[in-house]
Structure 1
């Protein structure tokens, strides 16, 4: 606390105290003047002798109890000047006591906002602190629930392939196979499940790093057109295996962004793999790159099944799968889109998804590199 603030508060109290004294003095003068005028009226108009008339009692009492009258008037003025401040102070005290008892919803009234600087500021600051504290509690509860959901999902997703691995290796260990061909099939299944388990663990580690600890990305000038063309060439074999043709629709000019090429490749590959997985009923998927204003816009489009509208808001959540059975078939970890969203946001961009009966589109928007 600054000394100047203490002095200012003391000065305000002193001013109010002096004001009460001055108002008391003025009030007493007005009362004395009123009594004097009343006395003159009685003498002049009604020719009354005040020494023998009861009206003289007023003047006599005023003189006799002058000190008492001063005190009473002072107390009245003091009460009028300090009343709202005292009420505000008591309300702040009661609110703090309620907060100490665990009632975090209580707030201080703003009735004194325009009248009392220090107390109004104090009550406003307490309300701001409680609002932030309430938000912090809500965030902590959400984080705790997210952690519980994550543990539940991880336990399920890790247990499923691990159970298969243990089961088939147990068959091999117990010599429960008829010939070498069956033995190799058991080992091949265990190997496939082990690879899927490694993918899940790697994706989980990456997502946890992005979410909780952040990650330092090395941003450089990147030609996004060249990057997308390179990815299309590298995954040509994957497109062929899925019997899908990847159609590139890019402008001839170069589009530069500031970003980490490795992270962006990871994000775009997730979207490409997603299109491959869910384009089973179409021979095509499209990648469109355009420039709108100060942003590079990338669209990854597949022509598979529609994502139900109720599922769209949750599509980027970790372990969220629209079709559980289909996800098991494709071998995904359920973390790819969540990782993609984190990477895009690290580049100050955003990603959104739209889906209808004919197509599903993931749109990525990233700020351009400006010289």
Structure 2
């Protein structure tokens, strides 16, 4: 706590003791001044009839003199007070006598150099005090507290000075009370500091769930920062755990999705070799073709998602009519939607909406979402597709009723190889929504998936801004 004081209270103990000695040496004269004041023999510059004038001036002088005396005593007391907390270190760092003994013990050097060093230190000290007074911030909470304490101390000293000579005993009692108060105050601060250290050590040991609720007084701002650090660590650990889980699931799902068609291909190749019936051989070849195409699509999807997530995909921006593009995708997959027995409801603008986009990537976004609807929607239900235009962007919303109960996390459904079909019985790679989301984000848009009961909702927002005006590199 010794170094926590302002520089003005870090004077050498010899200086503080000398000031106290001077105060006690002139105490007799100060007491005589008080006595002379009471006898109307001090600073009587007005006629004796002017009793009020003869009382006000001596009283003002008394207040100024005693305030100066008690301020010096208070300063000396605060300078010496750290000896109880710093102990041996206090004399090693601040005592002029110890510094002189160490200087002599270490060889000293020229006396002239030593004198110049002392003078330089005194000059530096005085300059620091002058600069501190010039740059004193009265709005700072710490400075306001110090001035409040000094003000209270001034009022108490003033009241003590009214007792005259007997005020010395009152001042001695006040000094004892002040010492007890300050000692208790500093012990409380030490306890609060230990509480902060305890919380810091807990964070260092990885105890992120331990609540920081202990009362730490003036260290409350530090505790609040520690809470933020704790929250940040918790979030980082959660993200890391999620990342590791995603990597594990990714490896498992990739292995499963690649292994299934590959195993089928190997099996049917052996059957084709041994089968003599031409009709069955043709059937086996058809199965091989389907499985090969399935494997080809999966590998292409892996390639696409790899480029999209690594931001290495090249975008070819052009002006396109996004309304016409969406209609084109829906028309191409009309037969699939009819087979799924879905009734389409469109709410699209009657006019063109020209947007700067990559036509192929945007087509793939709509394609993946429409395919997802045709696979997972409940038959004999309606599908709603709407598009609205604002000044800065275009918003497309697709809604459908899920065939299976929605039990998955909608925030994770756009991750790689995450599928709404947990049993993985339906044909799909689990990359459709992940690719759509990556392509949307590459074009500075957003894809948000939400669900309410069995209602599945995909909301796409694409900017209308010319990509050349964006600071982000559009090529990844």
What's 1:83 paired with?
A: 187
Give me the whole-angstrom Cα distance separating, in 1, the residues matched to 2:281 and 2:339. Answer: 27
Matched ranges for 1:31-110 at <5 A: 37=166, 75-106=179-210, 108-109=212-213
What's 1:348 paired with?
A: 445
What's 2:432 paired with?
A: 336
Deviation, 1:107, is 5.0
2:235 aligned to 109, 131, 135, which one? 135
Please list every run of 5 or more consecutive structure 1 residues that lacks an aligned counterpart in the other structure: 1-7, 40-58
Give me the whole-angstrom Cα distance separating, in 2, the residues matched to 1:92 and 1:305. Answer: 52
Deviation, 1:263, is 2.0
Q: After superposition, give the CA deviation of every residue in 1:115-151 in whole Å (9 maximum; x if it has no partner).
A: x3xx444333333222211210111011111111222
CA contact (8 A) 1:315 1:337 kept: yes
Matched ranges for 1:290-309 at <5 A: 290-291=388-389, 295-300=393-398, 306-309=403-406
> Rg larger in 1 or in 2?
2
Give me the whole-angstrom Cα distance separating, in 2, the residues matched to 1:233 and 1:167. Answer: 37
Tell me, yes or no, if structure 1 residue 273 matches structure 2 residue 371. yes
What's 2:17 paired with?
A: none
Tell me, yes or no, if structure 1 residue 148 matches structure 2 residue 248. yes
For residues 82 and 216 of structure 1, do their structure 2 counterparts lie closer, same or farther at Cα, with a shift above 3 Å needed?
Answer: farther
Q: After superposition, give the CA deviation of every residue in 1:209-236 in whole Å (9 maximum; x if it has no partner).
A: 5456686756555421132234345557
CA contact (8 A) 1:20 1:78 kept: no
Q: After superposition, give the CA deviation of every residue in 1:177-219 in whole Å (9 maximum; x if it has no partner).
A: 1233333332332232122122223323433554566867565
Matched ranges for 1:162-201 at <5 A: 162-172=262-272, 175-201=273-299
1:250 aligned to 348, 369, 373, which one? 348
What's 1:11 paired with?
A: 6
Give me the whole-angstrom Cα distance separating, in 2, the residues matched to 1:98 and 1:283. Answer: 56
Secondary structure of 2:6's counterpart equals: helix
Give me the whole-angstrom Cα distance separating, in 1, the residues matched to 2:276 and 2:361. Answer: 47
For residues 71 and 249 of structure 1, do their structure 2 counterparts lie closer, same or farther at Cα, with a shift above 3 Å needed?
Answer: closer
For residues 244 and 102 of structure 1, do their structure 2 counterparts lie closer, same or farther at Cα, with a shift above 3 Å needed?
Answer: closer
- What is the TM-score when the length of structure 2 is the normalising length? 0.54
Q: After superposition, give the CA deviation of every residue in 1:145-190 in whole Å (9 maximum; x if it has no partner).
A: 1111222222222221121112112334xx3212333333323322
Give me the whole-angstrom Cα distance separating, in 2, the residues matched to 1:19 and 1:110. Answer: 35
Aligned residues: 326
CA contact (8 A) 1:221 1:369 kept: no
Give me the whole-angstrom Cα distance separating, in 1, the residues matched to 2:393 and 2:175. Answer: 76
Secondary structure of 1:310's counterpart equals: coil
Give me the whole-angstrom Cα distance separating, in 1, the residues matched to 2:253 and 2:445. Answer: 29
For residues 217 and 140 of structure 1, do their structure 2 counterparts lie closer, same or farther at Cα, with a shift above 3 Å needed?
Answer: farther
